[in-house]
Structure 1
Amino acid sequence: MIKTDLLTIPGVGKSTKKDLLSLGINFAEDLKNKNPQALYDRLCELTSKKQDRCVLYVYRCAVYFARGGRNPQKLKWWNWKDVR
């Protein structure tokens, strides 16, 4: 079992933690310089299926958090949806 702090990231639950670990992300700190879209695309490749867009929104929120962002509204993954 890998020691990780991923569950301290807002919006990250057990399933997302598992996905992040499969992407080589073990700690929140690992997300600091990551591109959420690239993480999402890589997960789609690894699983050979298109993931729900909500996964991308969680990744956007997680990267924001890892970079030190603490605005309460931006710590809600649903506020990271695509603008239409």
Structure 2
Amino acid sequence: MNPAKVMRERVRKLTDLPNVGKAVAGDLQRLGITEPGQLAGCCPLALYDRLAEIDGVRSDPCMLDTFMSVIRFIDGEEARPWWDYTAERKAWMDSLGR
């Protein structure tokens, strides 16, 4: 969903989350996440790496940005577009040597 349209009190299903449409919801479901609350406290990099294991190929790094955005939202931050996390993700990955 477009982050500008997300209303925290109305988040019931995965596609109610910021930056999550049918495709990303499907990826989350393949990770065993079927409802938004299950994302609380998750590590976005762990989800990203697990998705790569499931698929046998690493997803576009923007998926990691999306995971960062939804986890931060569930953990209490404002809804923001996934690309707001790109610079942070790049610095984080560089610090990990990835």
TM-score by length of 2: 0.74
Structure 1 Cα separation of the partners of residues 39 and 21 of structure 2: 16
The answer for the alignment partner of 2:72 in structure 1 is 64
Equivalent residue for 2:51?
43
| Bigger relative contact order (CA 8 A; separation at least 6) | 1
Question: Could you tell me which residue of structure 1 aligns to residue 82 of structure 2?
Answer: 77
Percent of aligned pairs with the same amino acid = 33
Q: Distance in 2 between matches of 1:5 and 1:21?
A: 11
Give unmatched runs, 5+ long, in structure 2: 1-11
Q: CA RMSD in A?
A: 1.4
Q: TM-score, normalised by structure 1?
A: 0.86
- Matches of 1:63 and 1:24, distance apart in 2: 15
Letter in 1 for 2:39: L
Instruction: Return the offset for 1:38.
Output: 0.2
> What's the secondary structure of 2:38's corresponding residue?
helix
Deviations along 1:20-45, one digit per CA (max 9) or x if unpaired, are 00101111110011100000000000
> Structure 1 stretches of 5 or more lacking a match?
none
User: Which residue of 1 is the match for residue 7 of structure 2?
Assistant: none
2:72 is paired with a residue whose SS is helix
Please identify runs of 4+ aligned residues in structure 1 that moved more than 2 A. none
Residues matched between the structures, number: 78
Of residues 3, 22, 31, the one that matches 2:30 is 22
